[in-house]
């Protein structure tokens, strides 16, 4: 058996490492309660290659004291988010309004998805990059527009990743940050403790929630296993509801079952905005064996950094990223 990051499924399938457990998963009563996006993370070409173990998702952390002092309400649209970020930085120049990072792929993607964009589209038996579509570029513009001297200067923020933005918020250096349920403990241990709240990251229009990336880990059965029946049984046990409840209680891992997740949120109210984000519809990366190489080669961070540094405009940077992605998809 193997526990693996959920963006690696397609790569392991291509390499022949994971067993097809479609039949067993379909007959498993608990499998029917699996979150739809989590199920996508174990699915390649319509077949299932494992069971989701836990999920992680991001939302908007904000400083309640800063918002109160500046008479701000939690943003309900991305335009309000940008306006609030600039107002905070203007009133408190030593603080980022919204901490953003040029290397923060999964903090940026909700803006792309909220605008109706996609990373790639399915074409035949593979994928074609779509980061240079008009809708995707609208979302890219919304995110990269948050870099600048009026919020998060590119000279400081272009190289920041997700951990950097969360660290800035926890240390009291940002009025807002896009962080995960898995960042809760780190923020509780920082200067922002007791002075923050969390809401879903808003979409383009009021009432919309920006689709978040649903990360996490899966449990799979190795194709080479000589004890397939036992391995599948252990997979169900390790990824089952009882174990996911225990993992949440012990380590805070968000369950992949909608009913177990609702129970968790009822017991720990801080999870409510993350659960609401997942329930609104999360997104996932292309189920392509090439995604690992695209992610590792920093194609998307390079695109964001080229834009915020002024080295390329959005059209040129998005076209270059799409070309780099397509080169990998074609392999």
* Per-residue pLDDT tens digits for 55-102: 999 999 999 999 999 999 999 999 999 999 999 999 999 999 999 999
Q: Are residues 202 and 220 in the same domain?
A: no
Site of tokens 């999920």: 55
| Alpha carbons 62 and 126: distance in angstroms, whole number | 40
- CATH number of the CATH domain containing 192: 3.40.190.10
Over residues 30-44, the pLDDT tens digits come to: 999 999 999 999 999
User: What is the pLDDT, as a whole number, of residue 331?
Assistant: 85
User: Which has more pLDDT, 252 or 211?
Assistant: 211
**Overall average pLDDT of the 109-120 stretch:** 98
Range of the domain at 67: 59-212+290-329
Q: Are residues 208 and 161 in the same domain?
A: yes
| Alpha carbons 223 and 237: distance in angstroms, whole number | 19
Q: Is 246 helix (H, G, I), strand (E, B) or coil?
A: helix
Over residues 257-306, the pLDDT tens digits come to: 999 999 999 999 999 999 999 999 999 999 999 999 999 999 999 999 99
Q: Dig out the tokens for 54 from the structure.
A: 């836990």
CA 101, distance to chain mean position in Å, is: 14
pTM across the whole model = 0.95
Q: Are residues 192 and 313 in the same domain?
A: yes
Q: Are residues 127 and 191 in the same domain?
A: yes
Q: Helices 299-309 & 314-329, crossing angle to 10 degrees?
A: 170
**Looking at the predicted structure, is the pLDDT value of residue 124 above 90?**
no
Q: Are residues 91 and 188 in the same domain?
A: yes
Task: Please give the mean pLDDT across all residues of the chain.
Answer: 96
Residue 100, strand partner residues: none
Q: Are residues 195 and 235 in the same domain?
A: no
Q: Are residues 156 and 221 in the same domain?
A: no
Q: Are residues 96 and 196 in the same domain?
A: yes
**Overall average pLDDT of the 151-168 stretch:** 97
Q: Are residues 102 and 247 in the same domain?
A: no
Burial class from Cβ neighbours inside 10 Å (0-12, 13-18, 19+) for residue 113 reads buried
Q: Are residues 131 and 206 in the same domain?
A: yes
User: What is the pLDDT, as a whole number, of residue 194?
Assistant: 96
Domain count of the chain? 2
| Alpha carbons 57 and 65: distance in angstroms, whole number | 25
């Amino acid at each position: 058996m193997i526990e693996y990051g959920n963006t690696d499924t397609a790569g392991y399938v291509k390499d022949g490492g994971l067993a097809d457990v479609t039949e067993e998963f379909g007959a498993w009563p608990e499998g029917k309660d699996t979150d739809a996006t989590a199920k996508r993370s174990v699915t390649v070409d319509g077949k299932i290659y494992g069971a989701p173990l836990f999920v992680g998702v991001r939302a908007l952390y904000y400083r309640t004291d800063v918002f109160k002092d500046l008479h701000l309400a939690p943003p309900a649209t991305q335009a309000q988010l940008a306006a609030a970020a600039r107002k905070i930085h203007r009133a408190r120049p030593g603080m980022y309004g919204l901490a953003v990072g040029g290397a923060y792929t999964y903090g940026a993607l909700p803006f792309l998805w909220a605008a109706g964009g996609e990373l790639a589209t399915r074409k035949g038996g593979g994928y074609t990059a779509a980061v240079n579509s008009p809708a995707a570029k609208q979302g890219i513009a919304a995110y990269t527009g948050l870099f600048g001297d009026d919020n998060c200067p590119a000279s400081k923020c272009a190289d920041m990743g997700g951990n950097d933005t969360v660290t800035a918020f926890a240390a009291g250096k940002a009025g807002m940050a896009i962080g995960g349920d898995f960042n809760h403990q780190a923020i509780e241990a920082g200067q922002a403790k007791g002075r923050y709240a969390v809401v879903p990251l808003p979409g383009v229009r009021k009432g919309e929630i920006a689709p978040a990336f649903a990360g996490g880990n899966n449990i799979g059965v190795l194709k080479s296993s000589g004890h397939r029946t036992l391995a599948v049984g252990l997979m169900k046990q390790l990824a089952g509801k009882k174990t996911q409840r225990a993992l949440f209680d012990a380590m805070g891992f968000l369950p992949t079952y909608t009913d177990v997740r609702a129970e968790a949120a009822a017991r720990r109210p801080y999870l409510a905005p993350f659960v609401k984000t997942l329930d609104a519809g999360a997104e996932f990366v292309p189920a392509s064996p090439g995604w690992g190489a695209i992610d590792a080669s920093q194609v998307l961070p390079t695109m964001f950094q080229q834009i915020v540094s002024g080295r390329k405009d959005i059209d040129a940077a998005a076209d270059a990223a799409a070309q780099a992605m397509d080169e990998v998809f074609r392999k």
